[in-house]
């Protein structure tokens, strides 16, 4: 849990606390192949987490109408301050697209639905002893 820091202004401390209240996902907590459905103010994105900060992302008609491998930087409140490797409600997702030189920043995130990968069970063999 974040504690306000004396060296940060009230607005920054407020934003950080608010991000914890609103909720979100730290990339470091995700298993590879976890799917995030990210509803922003204007689009619904799907991201298949690949590990580290990499994901296959699609859902924007111009930037990623089909899955594209991106680097998720984190989330921002619309300014220059970034919560690194975090996807947060009420914040804007920031990611690097291989075909664009500057980061892409989405409209505010309305909802995040996390779908963890299903563990495949190997077929069990029965041993018959006589």
pLDDT at 128: 47
**Which ranges of the chain have pLDDT less than 70?**
1-5, 13, 119-130
Closest by CA position to 31, among listed 10, 49, 15, 14 = 49
Answer for the pair 105, 91: CB distance below 8 angstroms, yes or no. no
The token pair at 16 is 């950080």
pLDDT at 80: 81
Task: Specify the DSSP element, H or E, that contains 111.
Answer: strand 104-115
> What is the C-alpha to C-alpha distance for residues 30 and 50, in angstroms, rounded to an integer?
9
Answer for the pair 102, 63: CB distance below 8 angstroms, yes or no. no
pLDDT at 2: 56
Q: Which long-range contacts (CB under 8 A, 24 or more apart) does 51-57 make?
A: 52/27, 53/27, 53/85, 55/95, 57/95
Q: Where along the chain do its domains lie?
A: 23-115
The token pair at 54 is 């990499």
> What is the C-alpha to C-alpha distance for residues 57 and 48, in angstroms, rounded to an integer?
7
Q: What is the dihedral of CA 36, 41, 43, 48, to 10 degrees?
A: -10
pLDDT at 23: 80
């Amino acid at each position: 849990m974040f504690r306000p820091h004396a060296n940060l202004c009230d607005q920054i401390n407020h934003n950080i606390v608010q991000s914890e209240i609103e909720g979100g996902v730290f990339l470091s907590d995700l298993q590879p192949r976890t799917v995030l459905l990210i509803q922003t103010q204007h689009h619904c994105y799907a991201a298949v987490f690949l590990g580290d900060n990499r994901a296959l992302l699609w859902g924007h008609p111009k930037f990623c109408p089909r899955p594209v491998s991106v680097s998720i930087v984190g989330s921002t409140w619309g300014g220059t301050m970034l919560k690194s490797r975090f996807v947060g409600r009420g914040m804007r997702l920031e990611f690097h697209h291989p075909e664009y030189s500057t980061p892409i920043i989405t409209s505010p995130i309305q909802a995040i639905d996390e779908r963890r990968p299903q563990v495949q069970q190997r077929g069990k063999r029965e041993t018959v002893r006589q």
